[in-house]
């Protein structure tokens, strides 16, 4: 036990003294949190629209004005020629075409229903979905004011955002970014520290001491675990103070969740260290694994738009479940009684990953 | 010779393979308690692998070994408490201070620096002025002393030092060997490896090792005395020309550059060295090369070079 205490103490000394590690562990998360949560938003701004107005009435002009009245859309061109608008779309000048057919106003007044067509550049599926959603909402709004129904894209839209009524995507993204950060920190700190000892040759020196591999591993994992939790707490505070993310549920539940979830990250880190020899290799392999792991988790892209095999992989990644816990507690205000089955599942997954990594590690010599 | 049970270290047909390479090839030797025993050989001779076999880091493919009567394979946990090991590379934490490195290694062995001060005092006294300095900021010689101190901090019964003086300046090397001599006087068994032939004379006995095989084990004096052929030191200006010419000499066994001079071994065993010296000078003078030739006493390095070339010839003859 005394040896273990010294191991942990030594690890902290090294972390504090190594400026690169310290920066990596403190500055990088904060900067990433600030940059990413401002950049990685799902809200749209100034999407350019080509309006094909074949009606040319007050109603059609009013609809176009309504669409472009907010900050979400700006008009690239108003034309009567569908071909011209299509060219705008193809050549990238516009991301969406609003096509108002002839006799739009007439139908609107006579039948209280009319049709318009939205054509979207769907190169980026998620963006197209968002743009379409916004446009439909605005069109539906317009229709309501006219006590009429306008069918856009063949679909009637009645959006209503729960829990995040203003649809502030920071509330959605910040928890996810926090999770990705502690995943990266937990994985990298563990993997790097083991790789560094190997590179330094101190691992060889330690291997001829009575120190067991279990003690050595524990000495590596405990500091990384504590560092991860501290960074998580700091990140949560930054999120609250700077971005005003809601913390509706009990904080201790997310902290416990982070503690459990970190075992997964540590396990991955230890696993990486068993298959690499140098710090450089460790960096590459870690990033490779983390990219897959984080992208498949549905944190940044909706799982629903992935192929089914990827959805299955995504569903199996613990990161996804922890993001779910985070959002449930922070945004929805769920308590322990709601999320404990997920936490228990995470705990099992974490222990499994960690146990596997320790087993693999024990098989490697030095 | 006493029984195996009394040996500090013994090995019997100890063998380690890496893929198709025999890093350690059926090695037999024994080290007596209290002895300062040196493994001398060039880089890649298998010294580090042999050490790793003895300090429980590798398991042998064939043969067996005992260190302090314990099997490095089966009794590794008991053995690890009793041995001090200094790997070939400097392997302490560069970002920890001298004192922190020491107390860390002490704690790993469940002891403290204070408790072991009697053991490490002679070395620690030299390190004490730098106790607060990071290990990375130490000079090469100081780093080696710190590493030695760390290897000693748990009061081991035997010390394995793998090339402790590689990359260290001449003065620090001498100081380091002085320290080893003091430790040996204290009764500690020390097994050391080095590529520097001049350090062999500081050992009680040396084993010459090449290609994973031990060529000879003896005291340094006996190794030199057993040099079977007349040896001549040749000094001149055009060393390259001398080397080429002398290798053509009809009685040349070997010619090696050796510091400022060349060492010439004559194949005619038992001949009078002085006679041979003047003969060689005249032979070279006839080829327009003016040199100074004197009979010299063989060093360990001469003995080693001769053994090595003989072994290589034997390997070529019977692969």
Q: Over 60: is that where the pLDDT of B223 sits?
A: yes
Average pLDDT value for chain A: 81
Q: Where in chain B is the domain with CATH 3.30.70.100?
A: 228-297
Residue A292: which domain range? 2-40+167-363
Residue A168 sits at φ, ψ, to 5 deg, of -75, 110
Residues A76 and A30 in one domain: no
Whether residue B275 lies within 8 A of chain A, CB to CB, comes out as: no
Task: Look at domain B4-218 and name its CATH class.
Answer: alpha beta
Mean pLDDT of B125-148: 90
B91/A201 CB distance under 8 A = yes
Split at pLDDT 50, 70, 90, the class of A5 is: confident
pLDDT digits (tens, 9 = 90+) for B53-69: 999 989 999 999 999 99
Residues A185 and A58 in one domain: no
Domain end, chosen from A104, A121, A152, is at A152
Residues A51 and A198 in one domain: no
Residues A217 and A137 in one domain: no
pLDDT at A292: 82
pLDDT digits (tens, 9 = 90+) for B248-269: 899 999 898 888 889 999 998 8
**Higher per-residue pLDDT: A319 or B104:** B104
CA distances from B27 to A257, B31, B42, B215 (A): 57, 13, 17, 10
Q: Is residue A159 part of a domain?
A: no
Would you report the helix, strand and coil content of chain B in percent, each value rounded to 5? 40, 25, 35
pTM for the whole thing?
Answer: 0.75
pLDDT at A167: 52
Q: Over 80: is that where the pLDDT of A18 sits?
A: no
Domain end, chosen from A119, A152, A185, is at A152
Residues A238 and A338 in one domain: yes
Q: Over 90: is that where the pLDDT of B133 sits?
A: yes
Residue A304, min C-alpha distance to chain B (Å): 48
Q: Is residue A322 part of a domain?
A: yes
**What's the CA gap between A104 and A120, in Å, rounded?**
21
Pairing mode, strands B189-194 and B36-40: parallel
Residue A32, min C-alpha distance to chain B (Å): 28
Residues A107 and A181 in one domain: no
State the CB neighbour count (10 A cutoff) for residue B131. 12
Q: Is residue A157 part of a domain?
A: no
SS3 category, B203: coil
Q: Is residue A346 part of a domain?
A: yes
Q: What is the CA radius of gyration of chain A?
A: 26
* Residue B222 near residue B228 (C-beta atoms within 8 A): no
pLDDT digits (tens, 9 = 90+) for A347-361: 998 899 888 888 888
Residues A146 and A173 in one domain: no
Q: Over 70: is that where the pLDDT of A12 sits?
A: yes
Q: Which of B115, B171, B169, B125 is nearest to B148 (CA)?
A: B125
pLDDT at A366: 45
Locate the DSSP E strands across chain B.
9-18, 21-31, 36-40, 62-67, 83-86, 158-162, 189-194, 205-210, 213-218, 231-236, 252-258, 261-266, 291-295
What are the residues of chain A with a beta carbon less than 8 Å away from any beta carbon of chain B? 2-3, 5-7, 10, 13-14, 17-18, 200-202, 204-211, 365-366
Domain end, chosen from A152, A175, A209, is at A152
Question: Which residue does chain A place closest to B81, by CA atoms?
Answer: A210
* Residue B213 near residue B25 (C-beta atoms within 8 A): yes
What's the CATH number where A73 sits? 3.40.1710.10
Split at pLDDT 50, 70, 90, the class of B2 is: low
Residues A26 and A91 in one domain: no
Question: How much is the ipTM here?
Answer: 0.79
Residues A26 and A174 in one domain: yes
Q: How many CB pairs lie under 8 A apart between chains A and B?
A: 69
Question: Which residue does chain B place closest to A15, by CA atoms?
Answer: B95
Residues A257 and A338 in one domain: yes
Q: Is residue A162 part of a domain?
A: no
CATH of B228-297, one of 3.30.70.100, 2.60.120.1270, 3.60.21.10, 3.90.550.10: 3.30.70.100
Locate the DSSP E strands across chain A.
47-53, 73-79, 96-100, 113-120, 149-152
Residues A128 and A230 in one domain: no
Q: Is residue A158 part of a domain?
A: no
Residues A221 and A289 in one domain: yes
SS3 category, B121: helix
Q: Over 80: is that where the pLDDT of A300 sits?
A: no
Give the residues across from A97 on adjacent strands: A50, A119
pLDDT digits (tens, 9 = 90+) for A25-82: 777 777 777 777 666 555 666 788 888 888 888 888 888 888 877 777 888 888 888 8
- Would you state the structure tokens that stand for residue B275, as one six-digit string? 């006679």
Mean pLDDT of B231-235: 92
pLDDT digits (tens, 9 = 90+) for A133-184: 788 878 888 888 776 666 654 444 444 444 444 555 677 778 888 888 888 8
pLDDT at B83: 93
B109/A200 CB distance under 8 A = no
Helix or strand (DSSP H, E) at A279:
helix A279-295
* Residue A140 near residue A152 (C-beta atoms within 8 A): yes
* Residue B287 near residue B245 (C-beta atoms within 8 A): yes
CB-count burial class (<10 Å; 0-12, 13-18, 19+) for A281: middle
CB-count burial class (<10 Å; 0-12, 13-18, 19+) for B125: exposed
């Amino acid at each position: 036990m005394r040896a273990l205490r010294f191991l942990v103490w030594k690890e902290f000394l090294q972390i504090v003294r190594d400026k690169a590690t310290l920066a990596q562990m403190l500055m990088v998360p904060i900067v990433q949190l600030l940059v990413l949560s401002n950049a990685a938003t799902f809200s749209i701004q100034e999407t350019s629209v080509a309006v094909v107005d074949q009606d040319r009435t007050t109603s059609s002009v009013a609809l176009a004005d309504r669409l472009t009245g907010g900050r979400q859309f700006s008009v690239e061109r108003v034309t009567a020629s569908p071909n011209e608008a299509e060219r705008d779309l193809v050549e990238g000048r516009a991301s969406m075409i609003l096509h108002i057919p002839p006799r739009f106003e007439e139908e609107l007044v006579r039948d209280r229903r009319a049709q318009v067509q939205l054509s979207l550049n769907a190169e980026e599926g998620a963006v197209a979905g968002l743009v379409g959603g916004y446009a439909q909402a605005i069109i539906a709004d317009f229709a309501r004011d006219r006590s009429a129904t306008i069918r856009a894209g063949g679909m009637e839209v009645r959006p209503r955002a729960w829990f995040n009524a203003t649809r502030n995507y920071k509330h959605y993204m910040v928890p996810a970014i926090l999770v990705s950060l502690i995943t990266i920190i937990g994985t990298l700190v563990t993997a790097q520290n083991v790789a560094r000892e190997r590179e330094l040759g101190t691992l060889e020196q330690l291997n001829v001491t009575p120190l067991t591999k279990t003690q050595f591993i524990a000495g590596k994992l405990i500091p990384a675990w504590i560092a991860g939790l501290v960074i998580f707490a700091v990140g949560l505070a930054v999120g609250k103070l700077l971005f005003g993310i809601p913390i509706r549920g009990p904080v201790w539940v997310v902290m416990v969740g982070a503690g459990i979830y970190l075992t997964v990250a540590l396990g991955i880190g230890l696993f990486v260290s068993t298959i690499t020899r140098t710090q450089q290799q460790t960096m590459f392999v870690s990033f490779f694994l983390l990219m897959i792991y984080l992208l498949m988790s549905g944190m940044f892209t909706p799982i629903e738009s992935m192929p089914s095999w990827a959805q299955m992989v995504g569903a199996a990644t613990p990161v996804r479940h922890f993001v779910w816990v985070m959002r449930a507690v922070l945004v929805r205000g769920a308590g322990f009684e709601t999320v404990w089955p997920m936490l228990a599942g995470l705990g099992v997954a974490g222990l499994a990953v960690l146990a596997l990594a320790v087993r693999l590690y024990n098989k490697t010599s030095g | 010779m006493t029984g195996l049970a009394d040996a500090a270290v013994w090995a019997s047909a100890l063998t380690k393979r890496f893929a198709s390479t025999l890093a350690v090839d059926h090695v037999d030797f024994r080290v007596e308690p209290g002895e300062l025993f040196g493994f001398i050989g060039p880089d890649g001779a298998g010294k580090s692998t042999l050490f790793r076999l003895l300090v429980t880091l590798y398991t042998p493919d064939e043969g067996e070994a005992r260190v302090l009567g314990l099997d490095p394979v089966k009794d590794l946990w008991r053995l690890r408490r009793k041995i001090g090991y200094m790997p070939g590379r400097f392997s302490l934490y560069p970002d920890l201070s001298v004192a922190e490195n020491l107390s860390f290694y002490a704690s790993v062995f469940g002891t403290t620096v204070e408790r072991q001060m009697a053991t490490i005092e002679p070395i620690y006294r030299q390190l004490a002025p730098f106790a607060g300095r990071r290990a990375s900021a130490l000079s090469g010689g100081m780093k080696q002393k710190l590493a030695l101190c760390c290897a000693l901090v748990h009061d081991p019964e035997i010390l394995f030092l793998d090339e402790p003086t590689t990359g260290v300046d001449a003065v620090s090397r001498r100081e380091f060997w002085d320290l080893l001599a003091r430790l040996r006087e204290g009764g500690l068994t020390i097994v050391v490896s080095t590529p520097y032939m001049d350090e062999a004379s500081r050992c009680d006995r040396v084993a010459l090792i090449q290609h994973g095989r031990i060529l000879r084990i003896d005291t340094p004096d006996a190794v030199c005395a057993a040099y079977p052929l007349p040896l001549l030191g040749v000094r001149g200006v055009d060393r390259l020309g001398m080397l080429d010419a002398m290798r053509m000499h009809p009685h040349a066994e070997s010619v090696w550059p050796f510091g400022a001079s060349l060492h010439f071994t004559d194949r005619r065993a038992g001949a009078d060295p002085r006679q041979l010296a003047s003969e060689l000078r005249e032979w070279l003078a006839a080829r327009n090369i003016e040199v100074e030739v004197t009979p010299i006493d063989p060093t360990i390095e001469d003995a080693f070079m001769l053994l090595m070339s003989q072994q290589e010839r034997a390997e070529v003859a019977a692969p």
